[in-house]
Amino acid sequence: MPSSLPDPRGGATCELSLDPEDWDRFRNVAHAMLDEMIEYQRTAGARPAWRPVPGEVRARLDEPLPLEGQPLEDVCAQFVRDVLPYPTGNIHPRFWGWVLGNGTPVGMLAEMLAAGMNANVMGFDQSAVHVERRVVRWFTELMGFPESASGILVSGGTMANLVGLAAARSAGAGFDVCGDGLQGGGARLLVYGSVETHTWVLRACEVLGLGRSAYRPVPVGPDYRILTERLAAMVHSDREAGHRPICVVGNAGTVNTGATDDLQALAAFCRAEALWFHVDGAFGALAALSPHLRAQVAGLEEADSLAFDLHKWGGVPYEAGCALLRDREAHRAPFAAPAGATYLTSPGRGVQPGRMEFGELGVQLSRGFRALKVWMSLKAQGVRAWSRSIEQNVEQAEYLASLVDAHPHLELLAPVPLNVVCFRYAPPGVEGPALDELNREVLLRIQESGLAVPSSTILQGRFALRVAITNHRSRRDDFALLAGAVVREGDALTAAADGALSP
């Protein structure tokens, strides 16, 4: 070695790293776990859709802090015994609760590759930045945004929506809200959207300092779509009262029923009123990938900002969402690194030849390589397969709705424009709270049996079984199984109640 400096303290003898001591042994464990997980994915439908975490497993997971390491073989064995068998169930073909995605084996593989690279994608001259830029560009194209648009991958819909609203706030405040915040008083900044908008909007208003009461919920019609004329009236009267409306949120697929607002009308209204138009397309925006469904969400391409998830209808494993913004400068405004961050200033070439591109487009500075799983999934599966899978889910929702319609004791509780079906078991003579209670029990029995996982919601005061289909593993027959189980459990409960009542 040429001219190394002498070590005044003498050479250190046993320095430690966290790498395996025995790489061959590690390789064996890792290969076995890869096989385990491939098999787990392959047999996703062979286990119950859900099962509770048993008491003895909970007890075993309630462990003291491990001060010393134990063999990786033992840790993996515990994972296989105590962790792996008790998931939420969302990789199962009959999981339709809330809005959860399945993930895919390709996505799983990509997660391992990304973790192996351990890229920090805040910026830097590294391949991962190019992969994320490309992914954002692909979605710009798919969603019909202009090529000059900006975008970033984030943890999910909530964060993507927050990014959009943050940009709306700084663009619409009328003063330097990024510099001065909201402490200076002045007109109240207000945000509008339908009563069916997901509660991310309240959280975002709170986090952005606007306060939850800055959100003005606008009524919907019987189709659960925003009443645009009511919106206009509210905006105008708020202006007259001296407030400052800044943003309208449109829904492409509401969480409750899959309704899509008239996005074209909202876009025109926002243009006329100089308001920021944000669209929450958490799952619904992905309908734009299908030539047959695109018309359903027409108008989202006119948004100033659009948020959607990739871990729901995109089938990418958690976590992955995307925010697209029409104007790059408006996107960067709330997140740009202050000049004082000298440690982030580019020296002009080398590892950091320019600004921290993605680190200045969202809340996170350090951020992982979630673009890889999206990039690999799209490349390996192709947009056409995503589109077909989305269409398939919509056809399955129509099929389930037809089964509900055809059965005298089943009742649809909302229109089914997309992939969400809300219905209930409604035998003659049971009404009101008793009917709600009956359906709650039907839901819980089906979940607890492990057959399927629907969830629930309340629509116009009525308890609804809710089936949200963002599941590439579901097959038509799975929905017949569900409808059959609802009738069976409902009949059994009603018969038991009748039995209890008769002398």
Ligand X SMILES: *Cc1c(COP(=O)(O)O)cnc(C)c1O
**299 closest CA partner among 339, 267, 335:** 267
Report residue 487: phi and psi, to 5°. Answer: -65, -45
CB of 312 to ligand X, least distance (A): 6
Element containing residue 134 per DSSP (H, E): helix 127-143
The correct pick among 129, 177, 255, 486 for binding ligand X (CB under 6 A) is 255
Element containing residue 457 per DSSP (H, E): strand 455-459
Residues within window 319-348 making contact with ligand X, judged by CB under 6 A: 321
Residue among 282 and 469 whose Cβ is closer to ligand X:
282
Q: Using CB under 6 A, which of the segments 150-158, 240-248, 355-363, 440-448 binds ligand X?
A: 150-158
Whole-number Å distance between alpha carbons of 359 and 335: 8
Whole-number Å distance between alpha carbons of 377 and 284: 19
In this structure, what token pair is assigned to residue 321? Answer: 């969402």
Residue among 283 and 479 whose Cβ is closer to ligand X:
283
Q: Using CB under 6 A, which of the segments 49-57, 251-259, 353-361, 452-460 binds ligand X?
A: 251-259
Contact 467, 420 (CB under 8 A): yes
Interaction pattern, residues 152-171, with ligand X; x per rule: CB under 6 A: ----xxx-------------
Residue among 99 and 128 whose Cβ is closer to ligand X:
99
Residue among 282 and 374 whose Cβ is closer to ligand X:
282
**Residue at token pair 């590690």:** 26
Residues within window 293-312 making contact with ligand X, judged by CB under 6 A: 309
CB of 411 to ligand X, least distance (A): 24
Interaction pattern, residues 102-131, with ligand X; x per rule: CB under 6 A: ------------------------------
Residue among 159 and 401 whose Cβ is closer to ligand X:
159
Contact 187, 209 (CB under 8 A): no
Residues within window 267-286 making contact with ligand X, judged by CB under 6 A: 280, 282-283
Whole-number Å distance between alpha carbons of 252 and 427: 34
Sheet holding 462-468, edge to edge: 410-412, 420-425, 462-468, 455-459
CB of 25 to ligand X, least distance (A): 39
Report residue 491: phi and psi, to 5°. Answer: -60, -45
Residues within window 416-475 making contact with ligand X, judged by CB under 6 A: none
**256 closest CA partner among 456, 15, 55:** 456
Residue among 316 and 438 whose Cβ is closer to ligand X:
316
| One-character DSSP codes across 112-179 | HHHHHHT--TTSSSSHHHHHHHHHHHHHHHHHT--TT-EEEEESSHHHHHHHHHHHHHHHHSSS-HHH
Residues within window 367-426 making contact with ligand X, judged by CB under 6 A: none
Q: Using CB under 6 A, which of the segments 233-241, 249-257, 410-418, 437-445 binds ligand X?
A: 249-257
DSSP 8-state assignment for residue 350: T
Residue among 189 and 204 whose Cβ is closer to ligand X:
204
Q: Which amino acid is at 392?
A: Q
**490 closest CA partner among 433, 425, 440:** 425
Q: Which amino acid is at 35?
A: D
CB of 201 to ligand X, least distance (A): 9
Residue among 247 and 403 whose Cβ is closer to ligand X:
247
**Residue at token pair 């939850």:** 212
Contacts of 142 (CB under 8 A, 6+ apart): 288, 289, 383
CB of 80 to ligand X, least distance (A): 28
Contact 464, 456 (CB under 8 A): yes
Residue among 261 and 489 whose Cβ is closer to ligand X:
261
Residue nearest ligand X by beta-carbon distance: 157
CB of 422 to ligand X, least distance (A): 14
Q: Using CB under 6 A, which of the segments 117-125, 126-134, 248-256, 395-403 binds ligand X?
A: 248-256
What are the start-end ranges of the H helices in 241-327? 263-273
CB of 33 to ligand X, least distance (A): 28
Residue among 99 and 142 whose Cβ is closer to ligand X:
99
Whole-number Å distance between alpha carbons of 298 and 290: 12
Contacts of 32 (CB under 8 A, 6+ apart): 76
Whole-number Å distance between alpha carbons of 232 and 449: 48
CB of 207 to ligand X, least distance (A): 13
CB of 156 to ligand X, least distance (A): 3
Residue among 307 and 438 whose Cβ is closer to ligand X:
307
Residues within window 194-223 making contact with ligand X, judged by CB under 6 A: 198, 200
CB of 202 to ligand X, least distance (A): 12
Residues within window 52-91 making contact with ligand X, judged by CB under 6 A: none
Q: In Å, how far are 4, 10, 11, 12, 149 from 7, measured between CA atoms?
A: 9, 5, 6, 9, 54
CB of 299 to ligand X, least distance (A): 16
Q: Which amino acid is at 165?
A: L
**Residue at token pair 């009308």:** 265
Q: How many CB atoms lie within 10 A of CB 17?
A: 6
Residue among 280 and 436 whose Cβ is closer to ligand X:
280
Size of the site for ligand X (CB under 6 A): 14
Whole-number Å distance between alpha carbons of 91 and 76: 21
Residue 99 binds to ligand X (criterion: CB under 6 A): yes
CB of 321 to ligand X, least distance (A): 5
Interface positions with ligand X (CB under 6 A): 99, 156-158, 198, 200, 253-255, 280, 282-283, 309, 321
